[in-house]
């Protein structure tokens, strides 16, 4: 499987996650979101970029519980709660945001 962005095809797995993490760019993220009928706003990008930084530092996508806590610490309690994160990413902040961030599915996510 793959996703075409600006004339280039990016390989994805059967669930739409990017096969090669180093190929990611924001346009790929936006294109993946479009396929889910989701228009990415500043608030979405805040979480996506946070996930990419977390992955860069720890080499894993955090579990939702860990993500929520860490977002709260970095961006404040009004954003560090599941209600806010699920409103942004109704398919689950772990699964959905990680996909747009070009990361693998969070460890332990089924």
Catalog residues that contact other proteins under the rule CB under 8 A.
Answer: 57-60, 62-63, 65-66, 69-70, 107-108
Q: Of the listed 36, 77, 109, 110, which one is catalytic?
A: 109
Looking at the Cβ atoms of 68 and 96, the one nearer to other proteins is 68
Q: How far is the CB of 93 from other proteins (least distance, A)?
A: 15
With b for 16 or more beta-carbon neighbours within 10 A and e for fewer, the 6-42 pattern comes to eeeebebeeeebbeeeeebeeebbbbbbeeeebebee
Give least dist CB 34 to other proteins, A.
Answer: 30
Residue closer to other proteins (CB basis): 90 or 108: 108
- Cβ atoms of 81 and 72 within 8 Å: the answer is yes
Query: ∠ CA(59), CA(85), CA(49), 5° rounding?
Result: 40
Annotation marks residue 109 as catalytic:
yes
State the Cα–Cα distance between residues 88 and 48, nearest whole angstrom: 11
Beta carbon of residue 73, minimum distance to other proteins (angstroms, whole number): 9
Positions annotated as catalytic residues are 109
């Amino acid at each position: 499987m793959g996703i075409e962005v600006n004339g280039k095809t990016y390989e994805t797995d059967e669930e739409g996650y990017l096969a090669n993490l180093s190929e990611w760019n924001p346009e790929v993220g936006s294109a993946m979101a479009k396929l889910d009928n989701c228009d990415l706003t500043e608030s979405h990008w805040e979480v996506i970029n946070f996930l990419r930084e977390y992955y860069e530092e720890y080499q894993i996508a955090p579990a939702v519980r860990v993500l929520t806590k860490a977002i709260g610490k970095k961006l404040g309690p009004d954003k560090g709660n599941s209600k806010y994160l699920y409103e942004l990413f109704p398919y689950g902040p772990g699964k959905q945001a990680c996909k747009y961030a070009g990361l693998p599915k969070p460890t332990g996510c089924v």
